[in-house]
Structure 1
């Protein structure tokens, strides 16, 4: 009996030791691969040319200083379209992204051709581009750019409205029910709000312009596969004809999305 107890005790100690080593190994992998970063995207889609363009667009901010001021200065970090001048300017709604251009042309692409079974993947891959609609280029395509930036701290993705960088300005914030895939996520919350953009340009009366902005803050790590959590927000508006002034724009932010250790 004593021998059996000793064997069971040794076996239990080995299991505990192995479990501790396994947990420590996973924690080390987590610490070695953990990273936090931000991504800011701007997209403009027009069907006709825009002339003498000035835009003020919401910009991620901590309330005191524009977050991407350094990123806007780096040509390596800012792949903006030719002719777009981007700066940060003070407005009556706070610091915003200012985009100016003498002209923004539309961009149309050819229709993608699906690859059939057994066909060489390199075939039918050429994309035709044009500044005008045609039978060869019928698909309107947005122009824009992205800025990426690393964070020096772990992001509070559950409470970014209080503790992190988010779009400004924000007015009339209200919580709304989560939609799929977050409808059963106990950590996720969805908020809608109103923001502002300023648009000044000349175009045809029937032309429509879609302006979109998105921002995401992410924590990522690798423990036998990538994992992480995030908060993200999106703004979109469709404008028609000439513009000259401030316009409300609807936005949404989803917080607490993903997995937490």
Structure 2
């Protein structure tokens, strides 16, 4: 009887000790999880930032003369005038291009112009020197198009972007409800996304337009694009973000003198999170 009573007492004590340890671990885990959650909320709130970015790219493989290209520009708002910022950023770049926002028959657009935008081919050869590959400049007479070590750069491009921060969260899920978008735009409609993505990404197409006027050779190609991003970003043990992306892109062949219809694309992010 004595041995059985002692064994029972020891077993009860071990159960109480084990239960106490389990409870202590549960309490400790709850404290740690709560602290991490609170700290994550602090990181989210203190790192959260929102901004608009307007990006313009032009490229040509032939000289353009008497050139003016009208590109879509974001509408101005109380938070940001990206058109004015783009004019300032573009004007401060080197080169022959001039920038201004002008009123057209289809609304305000960014006008990029030049009396002459010259493309001068440059020739290169890749050689090995001291165990390293180098690209050296060669003359046109030395260039052999059949030599794989030789290349020609017969294009000229310019790209710039402007970023304007805002002190509020940007609506990346339904930006047409109040966020700036590229203009002109007509007939927004659902469309397939260019690349597979998460379920919360939704894509749309709309009718847009670009105007171009310039003289050039018949085989010249001009690539032009205007892109607007509205982005919210935050840091919680690594950067995360949600954004909407509005883009109009066109490739023009030969001389131009007027409007070209373009299909614009809009990608939205409906997984917009609020601070904990």
TM-score tier by shorter-chain length is 0.7 to 0.9
Q: What residue ranges of structure 2 are gaps of 5+ in the alignment?
A: 1-14, 146-150
Within a 5 Å distance, the mapping from 1:93-112 to structure 2 comes to: 93-106=106-119, 108=121
Moved more, 93-102 or 57-66: 57-66
Q: How many residues align?
A: 253
The question of 1:216 aligning with 2:216 is answered no
Please give the alpha-carbon distance, in whole angstroms, between the structure 2 residues aligned to 1:197 and 1:149.
24
Q: Which residue of 1 aligns with 2:245?
A: 232
Compared CA separation, residues 65 and 12, structure 1 to 2 (3 A): closer
Q: Normalising by structure 1, what TM-score?
A: 0.81
Q: Kindly state the Cα deviation for residue 9 of structure 1 after the two structures are TM-superposed.
A: 4.0
Q: Deviations over 1:23-68 (max 9, x none)?
A: 1111111222222222222222222211111222100125799831
The equivalent position to 2:38 in structure 1, one of 14, 20, 24, is 24
Q: Normalising by structure 2, what TM-score?
A: 0.77
Q: Which residue of 2 aligns with 1:142?
A: 157
The equivalent position to 1:252 in structure 2, one of 243, 250, 265, is 265
Contact kept in structure 1, 2:54 and 2:86, CA below 8 Å: no
Compared CA separation, residues 151 and 195, structure 1 to 2 (3 A): same
Please give the alpha-carbon distance, in whole angstroms, between the structure 2 residues aligned to 1:160 and 1:53.
33
Q: Deviations over 1:165-195 (max 9, x none)?
A: 111111122101234331xx22111111111
Structure with max Cα Rg: 2
The question of 1:67 aligning with 2:81 is answered yes
Structure with the largest fraction of helix: 2
Please give the alpha-carbon distance, in whole angstroms, between the structure 2 residues aligned to 1:65 and 1:220.
18
The equivalent position to 2:28 in structure 1, one of 14, 26, 33, is 14
Contact kept in structure 2, 1:158 and 1:255, CA below 8 Å: yes
Please give the alpha-carbon distance, in whole angstroms, between the structure 2 residues aligned to 1:106 and 1:257.
43
Q: Deviations over 1:77-120 (max 9, x none)?
A: 8653512111111122121111121111236565695999x955
Q: Which residue of 2 aligns with 1:85?
A: 98
Q: What residue ranges of structure 1 are gaps of 5+ in the alignment?
A: none
